[in-house]
């Protein structure tokens, strides 16, 4: 990935609907050359998709929390990960070093929904520690790291 590719990725992160002509004008390429670059970035896996940024609270999901999970002995980690992948409330799952095996980013409608999720984890043989986000200052991921 060269500097032009990185600039294209940044442009697409800021505006996934930018035209190839507009992006090309910024990076100094023609629209067809920009299209080819973006296609190669997609094929290489550097660009994995295009998404609308949404306001979770406006969609009825105002509660954001982070759940640290320790699977109990004998718990099938693969089954847990598959379960989380199929649970809409679990937005992210990260495998960790240290005491907690996993960190889940969870968005739910209510504390009652969070309690239901936590109860399911305990029934599956996991111990948890949950932290509620009082406010999100910002969320960002850039190609610059």
Residue 34 included in any domain: yes
Encode pLDDT of 72-91 as tens digits: 999 999 999 999 999 999 99
CATH of the domain at 38: 1.10.10.10
Are 35 and 64 in the same domain? Answer: no
Residue 67 included in any domain: yes
Are 67 and 101 in the same domain? Answer: yes
Encode pLDDT of 94-121 as tens digits: 999 998 999 999 999 999 999 999 999 9
In three-state form (DSSP H/G/I as H, E/B as E, the rest C), the secondary structure along the chain is CCHHHHHHHHHHHHCCCCCHHHHHHHHCCCHHHHHHHHHHHHHHCCCCCCCCCCCCHHHCCCEEEEEEEEECCCCCHHHHHHHHHCCCCEEEEEECCCCCCEEEEEEECCHHHHHHHHHHHHHCCEEEEEEECCCCCCCCCCCCC
């Amino acid at each position: 990935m060269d500097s032009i590719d990185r600039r294209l990725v940044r442009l697409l992160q800021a505006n996934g609907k930018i035209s190839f002509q507009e992006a090309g004008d910024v990076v100094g390429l023609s629209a067809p050359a920009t299209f080819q670059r973006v296609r190669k970035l997609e094929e290489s896996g550097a660009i994995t998709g295009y998404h609308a940024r949404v306001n979770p609270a406006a969609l009825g999901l105002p509660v954001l929390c982070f759940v640290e999970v320790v699977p109990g002995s004998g718990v099938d980690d693969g089954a847990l990960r598959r379960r989380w992948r199929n649970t809409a409330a679990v937005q992210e799952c990260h495998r960790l070093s240290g005491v907690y095996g996993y960190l889940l980013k969870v968005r739910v409608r209510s504390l009652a929904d969070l309690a239901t999720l936590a109860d399911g984890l305990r029934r599956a043989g996991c111990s948890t520690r949950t932290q509620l986000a009082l406010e999100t200052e910002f969320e960002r991921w850039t190609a610059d790291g």
